[in-house]
Amino acid sequence: MNRPAERFEVAVVGGGMVGATLALILARAGIRTVLLEERPPLREWPENTVDIRVSALTRASRIILDTLGAWAGIMERGAGPYRYMRVWDPACGGELYFDGADVGQDILGFIVENRVSVAALWSILEGLRDVSVVCPARVAGIHPVAGGSELLLDKGQTIFAELVVAADGAHSALRSMAAIEVKGWSYAQTALVATVETQTAHHETAYQRFLAEGPLAFLPLRNGMSSIVWTSSSQTTQRYLELPERTFVNELEVASGGILGSLALVSKRASFPLRLQYARSYFRGNVVLVGDAAHSVHPLAGQGANMGILDAAALAESVIAARDLSRPIAGFHTLRRYERWRKGDNLAMLMGMDGLHRLFVRPPPGFGFLRSLGMNLINRSDPIKNFFNRYAMGLRADLPRLAYGQKCW
């Protein structure tokens, strides 16, 4: 005999940083929510280890997480502030330097291990009344029914929800089940990530050096180490992955230009292919997309996680507003409001990062000098440089209320 479906107002599929943030906001607002995740996240780890997957969280993301009560847990587990950023093109002499103090802030952002953010969010979720966490759980099918959808889980359980949220990443299975079309293209590049010890202290500075095949970034971690993101052609990155450790470190030191002295690899090397991808629509029926399920961006400016957190805050605010007005939380007007709010901003970021990629990695012949001239002119123009700085940090007027520290419930 089939068990009756457990009923919720919202089902969030995917318990990573974005999905967990969304579930936490909805639960704070008293909206009955279920969070479905395939793999249990790490909750504890040896003190001297570092997750090679990190995110550069902006001021706006920090304020959202702080207002939700999760930031204290992130700081307790460890987050590395970065106060300065240096970007330069050694081939032609272009350079940009950013300082949080230039826009009245003490920091530009924080480099946070992904496992830290997720563990802090889950530790709060599991103590809230209005959210249920089902893990491990994989959605095997989705079927429209009166008033919502039924989600069939791989172990036979059925979940009913008025609104279903796909927060399950760039290869979203739920997005495919909902037949939401995506567009995009591969960059034929792969990013290599690892953690290194550096001879010279990073001084809470993020470095990004543009090379012939792509940028090499050093991101300052809480323990004095640095996380590297080295973007090259897929063939070159594969060669780097296969090199003996000492040979790889030698090539990394040359590529860094010695900015942090001699280096030592303290983690395994991993990689991920780069592509631009965006959903043609952010919702279909009562299924709505957030985070990488809706958009994948080049990691040049480290904005992917921040875009997803803003998606979560905007969708939650739209759903809560509909609830408070006794309107359908999965109605067309509710989801269309969210889509209008976030899609344009996300596409602007995608196209901006794509444009930078083309300027630095595949520039027109002879364009390098003009590109560096432009960088230097921007660097000497405080109004222009500070505009980019403020936009990237989330110091603007079109963000969800949570990004300003205002509760939306």
Domain borders along the chain are: 6-56+68-80+111-184+276-363, 186-274
Tell me how long the chain is: 409
Backbone φ and ψ for 78, nearest 5 degrees, come out as 120, 120
Give, for all 409 residues of the chain, the pLDDT tens digit.
456 789 999 999 999 999 999 999 999 999 999 999 999 999 999 988 889 999 999 999 999 999 999 999 999 999 999 999 999 988 888 899 999 999 899 999 999 999 999 999 999 999 999 999 999 999 999 999 999 999 999 989 999 999 999 999 999 999 999 999 999 999 999 999 999 999 999 999 999 999 989 999 999 999 899 999 999 999 999 999 999 999 999 999 999 999 999 999 999 999 999 999 999 999 999 999 999 999 999 887 678 999 999 999 999 999 999 999 999 999 999 999 999 999 999 999 898 888 877 777 766 666 677 778 888 888 988 888 888 888 888 888 889 999 999 999 9
Which residues sit opposite 264 in a β-bridge? Answer: 197
Judge whether 6-56+68-80+111-184+276-363 and 186-274 match in fold: no
193 Cβ contact list (under 8 Å, min separation 6): 52, 53, 227, 228, 229, 230, 269, 270, 271, 272
Q: Write out the two tokens for 137.
A: 């759980």
pTM to 2 decimal places: 0.94
Residue 165 and residue 24 in contact, taking contact as beta carbons nearer than 8 Å? no
Fold adopted by 6-56+68-80+111-184+276-363:
FAD/NAD(P)-binding domain (3.50.50)
Please state which of the four CATH numbers 3.30.9.10, 3.30.70.260, 3.20.20.70, 3.30.1360.120 is assigned to the domain occupying 186-274.
3.30.9.10
CA–CA–CA angle 99, 101, 103 (5° rounding): 95
From the list 124, 125, 142, the residue with the least C-alpha distance to 134 is 125
Rounded to the nearest angstrom, the gap between the alpha carbon of residue 12 and the centroid of all alpha carbons in its chain is 17
Round to whole Å and give the CA distance between 96 and 378: 7
Strands 33-36 and 131-134: parallel
DSSP 402: G
The one-letter amino acid at 58: T
Answer left, alpha or beta for residue 135, where phi above 0 means left and psi between -120 and 50 means alpha: beta
